[in-house]
Structure 1
Amino acid sequence: MLKLGIIGTNWITKQFVEAAEETKRYQLTRVYSRREETAKEFGADFGVTTVSTDLNEFMTSGDVDVIYIASPNSLHFEQSKAALLAGKHVIVEKPAVTKLTEWQELVALAKEQKLFIFEAARNIHEDSFRKVTELLPDASELLGANLNFMKYSSRYDLVLAGEEPNIFSPKFAGGALMDLGVYVMYAAIAWFGRPTSYHYFAQKITTGVDGKGTIILRYPNFDVTMQTGKIANSDLPSEIYTQKETIHLDAVNSIETINVLDLKTQELRNVPATRLENPMVEEATDFADVIENPTSEALQTSYNDWLEIGAIVHELMEQMRQEAGIKFPTDSF
């Protein structure tokens, strides 16, 4: 049983802890928050009374094997680094970092410490996502794709009222690309690999970050167009085009419906897909498999694939932000 410590006491942390315990591979043992009352209140839902308000005490505690980090984006890198130096495995919410060099440093440190670091880009771990992967033909037969994930955030109401909530603040590495955009980027890179060129048409808001935008990835013989945003809603499906079929998806994360249209016969077939009630169970299972089986060649190959996908995603996202003029305090461009 992996002893789990958490940083962050929001809804996504609760969902991950519930998923982790559902796998029966983890046990929540310690909660960190700057406010003791908040930590105790969160822990009470899981029968946990051991809390920390001092981050160093939390990191070095002996009752934690793996730390799940769901703090504001701008804190992810330093907290992940501290956890690895303290000898803990790390699961860090997306986006794990704001720049490629940070990701490379964390990956190298994990290897040096004989530990594992995972970015919780959950969609690539879902069984339905893998089923789509199995449907894809050779790259030479691909014609393109449209991937969409855009959902209005109620916190944009605060922006409209003149405030700057974390999720829309450059100080906290916020914005559409750094939130929902991570899902479409991970999907595209996992399915199609590194593009030959790319561009981000960002629609910036008053805080200086992007509220929504369009991403275009160019490949040798096709393009992938992606919409993402947090200041508007989209109910558009996602589609992948091949020389023989069109693959219709209801989403790029938590995929529930996969339909394949045969272009020649115009027959539509459904590929059975299961969306779990808690969409974080599959990633929690994958992470536990790797941690508990460090000598498994197959699992370590999967782990290294995730790290490489992450490297490409963070490289491209950093350069897209630079192109769009979306600058965070730690950026040098």
Structure 2
Amino acid sequence: MQKLGIIGTNWITGQFVEAARTAEAFELTAVYSRTAAKAQQFRTDYEAGAAQDYTDLATFFIAGDFATVYIASPNSLHFEQAKQALEAGKNVIVEKPAFSNPTEMATIQAILKDRPDQFLFEAARHVHEANFKIAQAAIQALPTINGATLAYMKYSSRYDAVLAGEEPNIFSRHFSGGALQDLGVYVVYDAVSWFGAPESVDYQAEILPTGVDGKGVATLHYADFDVTLIFGKTVDSYLNSEIYSGQTTIVLDNAGTIGTVSRYENDGAQKTALGQAPLANPMVAEATIFAEIIANRDTKRYHELLQLSQTVNQVVYQLRQSAGIVFDAD
């Protein structure tokens, strides 16, 4: 297994570490946290007693025994930490959204160009899952596309703090937060993966007192159809997602965590189940694929993912501009 360092000791980091272990892809050898107690607790919780703890980021990159770092810090910190990691000779897996804007993305791309032996992945885990690929194949088999509606809305455990007058990181423009930057990234990844880059976009957002979006509806305009994106973190939604082609419709139970994929035909009289049961840990697929690309030096596959990440970054930024949302990172 490849040696892994982590930045961030939250639940999503733990899920990735467990996925990496299940896939026999990465072995956790170094933990960075701002406090030693949190690093030690993380190692205990995830049975990584042999890993080394660091509370200084520079020391972590210089002394840490790892080749790849997984970054799951607040969004606004991704850029500087990924840049520092690349300059230290590490491969990078950075949680989505990888970067706050195209300027940050372009800077990272320039660094990568000078370091062709290193890899950087955006951890948009759902695009690597089996049901995403099943949906993609079903969409590609359609004779034409007449549009789509893709939805992902989930009430955030941190929204109560906003209602109480606080400003948690995930809802702060200082930390590049908001619904678009979190759940919206999933549906943008869906649209760009399945239909390509749109010709134009617009976003009608519900702006919170913290200056970022709580939920909203975005439209991606293509030459012959539109794709509607519905996402948010202030309510729960149980809407299906649909891709339209005349009398045939591909139906997903959720565009962000795809559990079922079905094809409806002939006025709904014919329904075909296409999907399969998802894995218990949704990060296993991405951990496997990232490790394979690094081990096999699969640059073709890697650059396809990097280009997809760059396009998603551009579309998300355009949507944010449409809604007038400005981050400190801008």
| Fold similarity call, TM over 0.5 | yes
Distance 1:324 1:139, change over 3 A: farther
Query: How many residues are matched?
Result: 327
Distance 1:139 1:196, change over 3 A: farther
Distance 1:229 1:185, change over 3 A: same
**1:160 lines up with 2:159 in the alignment:** no
Residue number in structure 1 paired with 2:317: 318
Distance 1:20 1:102 in 2: 28
Residue number in structure 2 paired with 1:271: 274
User: Quick one: which amino acid aligns to residue 273 of structure 1?
Assistant: Q
Residue number in structure 1 paired with 2:238: 235
Distance 1:272 1:128 in 2: 5
- SS of corresponding position for 2:140: coil
Distance 1:265 1:96, change over 3 A: closer
Distance 1:222 1:140 in 2: 14
**1:81 lines up with 2:80 in the alignment:** no
Identity of aligned residues (%): 50
Distance 1:256 1:19, change over 3 A: same
Residue number in structure 1 paired with 2:11: 11
Higher relative contact order (CA 8 A, sep 6+): 2
Distance 2:35 2:255 in 1: 36
Tell me if the contact between 2:52 and 2:64 (Cα under 8 Å) persists in the aligned partners: no
Distance 1:282 1:202 in 2: 32
Tell me if the contact between 1:201 and 1:214 (Cα under 8 Å) persists in the aligned partners: yes
Residue number in structure 2 paired with 1:104: 106
- Normalised by the length of structure 1, the TM-score is 0.95
Distance 1:215 1:99 in 2: 18
User: Quick one: which amino acid aligns to residue 302 of structure 2?
Assistant: Y
Q: Which of 140, 149, 152 is the equivalent residue of 1:137?
A: 140
Residue number in structure 1 paired with 2:48: 47
Regions of 4+ moved over 4 Å: none
Distance 1:271 1:139, change over 3 A: closer
- SS of corresponding position for 1:289: helix
Aligned-pair CA distance for 1:243:
2.9
Distance 2:178 2:150 in 1: 18
The farther-off stretch of 105-114 and 157-166 is 105-114
Aligned-pair CA distance for 1:265:
7.6
Distance 1:139 1:270 in 2: 16
User: Quick one: which amino acid aligns to residue 229 of structure 2?
Assistant: M
**1:121 lines up with 2:124 in the alignment:** yes
**1:208 lines up with 2:242 in the alignment:** no
The farther-off stretch of 163-172 and 108-117 is 108-117
Tell me if the contact between 2:176 and 2:329 (Cα under 8 Å) persists in the aligned partners: no
User: Quick one: which amino acid aligns to residue 85 of structure 1?
Assistant: E
Distance 1:112 1:221 in 2: 39
Deviations 1:220-252 (A, max 9, x none): 111100101001111001011113510111112
Unaligned runs of 5+ in 2: none
Deviations 1:108-154 (A, max 9, x none): 32242220000001111111100111111378710111000000112
User: Quick one: which amino acid aligns to residue 47 of structure 2?
Assistant: F
